[in-house]
Structure 1
Amino acid sequence: MRVANIPAIVTGGASGLGEATARALRAAGAQVAILDFNLAAAKTIAAEIGALALQCDVASAASAEAAVAAATAAQGSARILVNCAGIAPGARVVGRNGPMPLDDFRKGIEVNLIGTFNLIRLVAAGASTLEPLEGGERGVLISTASIAAFDGQIGQASYAASKAGVAGMTLPIARELARFGIRAVTIAPGIFETAMLRGLPENVQQSLGAGVPFPSRLGQPDEYARLVMAIIDNPMLNGEVIRLDGALRMPPQ
């Protein structure tokens, strides 16, 4: 799909992987709506690149519906969705203070898994009514899992479960939406240099990067964005989960 003048929605677009993706899409000429829980940060990025900023709690049906409706009113129904919104909760199943609070586990599922599906259902519904582009394509839905979906570490039960869910629903969604000419693909990043990791001490960051076989460093957000653009461009990429991790396999802890 050529992205010039195509409406696109990026969740979590105010920072990290989402910000890099929003910038890449806008540079290629897409009409970009940045959906983020942090509206002030979203407005800052949107002002820099000429995008639309909207507040959105992806785990809320009402919030997501309102945000997608506002983006549609401003730019038309999105043909491109990139789900980058997410959280990385960490807690042991049984910790020093007893069992992990169930709401802590539930929060990761609600934001990472249900939030991803929430936007997929809304954008897919809109894209399904659009006229097909060259080749019969109507849209592409790109979600973000994690290598934790496959190599979850101790303390990552909620995070790994949520990301495994994102990976697991990719194929059935792709199969279902094929009749509309809508593709579904998921990226499973390894360790990337995002705001969360930049908050760690420099020696810790270097140690994490050194554990990646090649290249032995943290991934850069623009490398994620480049894969997003390649997926959009290649119509045969569908129903797949792509690891983007430099051949890293996470140890137990």
Structure 2
Amino acid sequence: MKLAQSRVLVTGAGSGLGAQTARHFAGQGAKVVLLDHDIDKARQVADEIGGQAVQANVSDEAAVGRALDEASAHLGGAPRVIVNCAGVGFAARIVGREGKLSFDTFEKTLKVNLFGTFNVMSHAARRLLDEDPTETGERGVIINTASVAFEDGQLGQAAYSASKGGIAAMCLPAAREFAQHGIRVMAIAPGLFRTPMMEGLPEEVSAKITANIPFPPRLGEPDEFARLAEHIVSNPFLNGTTIRLDGAVRLPPR
């Protein structure tokens, strides 16, 4: 599928991986709508790249439906390429100090990361079913964001790892379901990337984290995520799998 002139929706596009993916895709000639809970941040990036911003909490099914309708109106049709980057990274032990449980953290994390991804994928796919296939037989591509934590989650990441593991696990069955309609589903599991979450860490903590990355021995750049997403769009044989993008890192227990 060609990215130039494609109709694109990126969630979590107000910052981090989503913002850079929106920038990169727009630079390749795509028409981009940026969805974020923080509409001001989304509008800032949209103004920068000549895109449009829409607001929604991805865990709210009705709000996502309205946002997809708005995005389709802006683009002149349903988005053909959907990149789900919206997510949260709360950390909490299952049983914390003084026996405090963390069900609230678990619930919120799964609602945003897993349910939110499923919400957007569902609404986007339903609209793609009504689109005509391209000359290659494709109707669209959905790229979801997992994390290396789905395989090597650290202490305190039970909720985060579960949410990202769910995203990785539903990739193949979703791809199989939509294959007959020419819709591909992929997932990217990024490792340690230079995002606002990482940049907010103390320098000594960041240095310790970077030391665990074999090669290249540095944090990943958001543009490297965006370029992999671009390749997934353009390579029609990539379907139904999760790609680790991590510099060969394997996260230690803590």
**Which 10-residue stretch deviates more, 102-111 or 165-174?**
102-111
SS in 2 for 1:123: helix
Match of 2:248 in 1: 247
> Which residues of 2 match residues 1-253 of structure 1 at below 5 A?
1-75=1-75, 76-253=77-254
Distance 1:169 1:57 in 2: 21
Q: CA RMSD of the aligned region, Å? A: 0.8
Corresponding letter in the other structure for 2:206: Q
Deviation at 1:229, TM superposition (A): 0.3
Corresponding letter in the other structure for 2:13: G
Q: TM-score, normalised by structure 1?
A: 0.98
Alignment deviations for residues 143-179 of structure 1 (CA, whole Å, 9 cap, x no partner): 0000000001110010000000000000000000000
Unaligned runs of 5+ in 2: none
Deviation at 1:9, TM superposition (A): 0.4
SS in 1 for 2:29: coil
Distance 1:50 1:209 in 2: 35
Alignment size in residue pairs? 253
Contact 2:96 2:102 in 1 (8 A): no
Deviation at 1:97, TM superposition (A): 3.3
SS in 1 for 2:67: helix
Contact 2:72 2:78 in 1 (8 A): yes
Deviation at 1:135, TM superposition (A): 1.2
Distance 1:88 1:99 in 2: 19
Corresponding letter in the other structure for 1:127: L
Deviation at 1:18, TM superposition (A): 0.3
Deviation at 1:56, TM superposition (A): 1.1
Distance 1:77 1:96 in 2: 48
Identity rate, percent: 50
Distance 2:145 2:30 in 1: 20
Distance 1:225 1:100 in 2: 37
